Every structure is written in structure tokens, then in C-alpha cells.
Amino acid sequence: MLVQPTLQVAALWFLLDIVLKVRFPGMEGGFVGYYLTGMLPWLMMSEIIQRSLGVMPEYAALYQRSVFPLFLIPLVPLLVSGGIYVSIFFIVAFLISGWAGALGALLLMLGLLLWLLPFCYLLAVLGLFVRDLQQLAPFVLTMLMYVTPILYVPSALPQSMTWWLQVNPFAHLMALAHALVQGQAWTWWNLVVPGALWLVVLLPALALFYRAQPHMREAL
């Protein structure tokens, strides 16, 4: 489970830092730190989203052939991927910024897991009833990664595109990641936008999951 994210991180690091020698103004030599601070939380989120879409069919035998509380199943990707990436990021952040960074990383990752919770329930239901979403997810997630400031700094975007940083919740989450681990600047909007989205999704997602439960045992 650890090999895939480690190799992905290493491959992009090799490409961007060693081959292309990407350097950001004002961040001389700090690219690796910037890149890992964005990439590790992103990999965790994208893996949890991807796995959530397939989690109900994956564990169908568990709840269709034995009595198992359904509400626990969407927590599986959250806990499994979360467990791996929180520990990796804790160590990486310690290497980048010492204890302060490591504690910031821990706070960030736990916050992200809490933020992802309603999405896990929502995607578990959507993925079960609309199976094609699981095929579509990798493309959407790759697109999202490139339109979120993970491999580049937000200021690298052209002026005409800055509005996108305001509406993209992942851009705000990345800003929080860099603030907590690397001590960079952040604004209250970085908390308000993802927080508002979380509040909007929370109740409908849990209600949808609750109402879908009797259907889940019959869906396959």
C-alpha cells in the first residue's frame, strides 16, 4: 500500500526538481518541500474519493450474506488511506519543517479526514447506484490535480484565472496545508469556502445514505 504513493511522489520529484529543475521565485531550493506539502494531502484525498466510489460493491458480501452495520463501510477508505498518509506526511513534514511542521501536518490531515467524511458517504451511495462514476473518477481527479495549485504556486496562474482559486475548494485546502506545514500566509476564506461546502453536503449526504440503506442490500 505504501509503494504506490511513494513511487508516485518520487517520480514527480525526479521529473520536476532534477530533470526540469523547476524553481519558484522566492522559494529557491524549497520546491521539494512545497511539492510534498501539497502532493501528499492530495494523494490521500484522491485515493479516498476513488475508493469511496467502489467501497459498497467491494464489501457487498459482508452486508449481503451476513449482518453488518452498513454505516461502517464508507469509513473503510477514510481509515485505511488516512492511516497510511497521515503517518507518511507526519514524518515528511518533520523533515521539512521540524516539530512545528509535523504537528501542523497532523492537524491538517485530521481536519481533511473530517472534511472528507460526508463526501465518503455521498460517494459510496453514488458509486453503488451509478457504477460508471468509478471509471470516470481517475480522469476527473487528474484534471482537478492540475487545476489546483499542487505542482505550482498560486501566483503562477495568470491574472485572468485567479477567480478559479477562489471557487476551487481544493485550492483553499492547499493554502491551508502550506500555512500549517510551511508557515505560509492564509486567509479566513481558506477556511470559510471548504467549511461552507462541508456544511452544505453534510446533512444531505448522511440523509441520502440513511435512506439508501435498505436498497443497498438488494442493489447487486
Partner 1 sequence: MIAIDLRGVSKTYSLYKHGFDRLLEIAFAKKRHVEFVALHTLDLQIDAGEVIGLVGMNGAGKSTLLKLLARTLVPTTGELNIHGRIAALLELGTGFHPEMTGRENVYLAAAVLGIGRTRMATLYDEIVEFSGLHDFMEQPVKTYSSGMYVRLAFAVATCVDPDILIVDEALSVGDGAFARKSFDRIMGFKKAGKTILFCSHSLYQVEAICTRVIWVHQGRVMMDGDPAQVVAAYNGFLNSQGRQPGVDLPIQAPVSDSPLLIPAGHARLTKVTAWADGKAGKELQLHSGSSDLCIEASFSSDPALPAPTLAFALTGADGRWICSAGTLNDGIALQRTAEGNGRVLLTYPALPLLKGEYWVQAFLLSEDGVHIYDQASDIARILVTQTGLEQGIVTLPHHWADVAEGAVRSTTSAFAA
Q: Could you tell me if 62 and 68 are in contact, meaning their C-beta atoms sit under 8 angstroms apart?
A: yes
Beta-carbon-side half-sphere exposure of residue 147 (alpha carbons within 13 Å): 15
* Mutual angle of helices 75-129 and 132-146, in 10-degree steps: 120
- Based on its alpha-carbon atoms, the radius of gyration of the chain, rounded to whole angstroms, reads 18
How many residues at the interface with partner 1, by CB under 8 A? 23
Query: Can you tell me which residue has the cell 450474506?
Result: 65
* 65 touching partner 1, by CB under 8 A: yes
* 203 touching partner 1, by CB under 8 A: no
* 130 touching partner 1, by CB under 8 A: yes
Query: For residue 36, what are the contacts with CB-CB under 8 A and spacing of at least 6?
Result: 9, 13, 92, 96
**Among the residue ranges 15-23, 91-99, 169-177, 204-212, the one whose residues contact partner 1 (CB under 8 A):** 204-212
* 4 touching partner 1, by CB under 8 A: no
Q: Could you tell me if 12 and 39 are in contact, meaning their C-beta atoms sit under 8 angstroms apart?
A: yes
* 3 touching partner 1, by CB under 8 A: no
Among 8, 64, 155, 187, binds partner 1 (CB under 8 A): 64
Site string for partner 1, 33-62 (x = CB under 8 A): --------------------------x-xx
* 28 touching partner 1, by CB under 8 A: no
Among 13, 24, 63, 94, binds partner 1 (CB under 8 A): 63
Among 129, 142, 163, 203, binds partner 1 (CB under 8 A): 129
**Among the residue ranges 5-13, 138-146, 190-198, 209-217, the one whose residues contact partner 1 (CB under 8 A):** 209-217
Going from the C-alpha of 88 to that of each of 11, 44, 92, 101, 111, the distances in angstroms are 17, 10, 6, 13, 16
* 90 touching partner 1, by CB under 8 A: no
**Among the residue ranges 63-71, 136-144, 171-179, 186-194, the one whose residues contact partner 1 (CB under 8 A):** 63-71
Residues at the interface with partner 1 (CB under 8 A): 59, 61-68, 125-126, 128-131, 208, 211-212, 214-215, 217-219
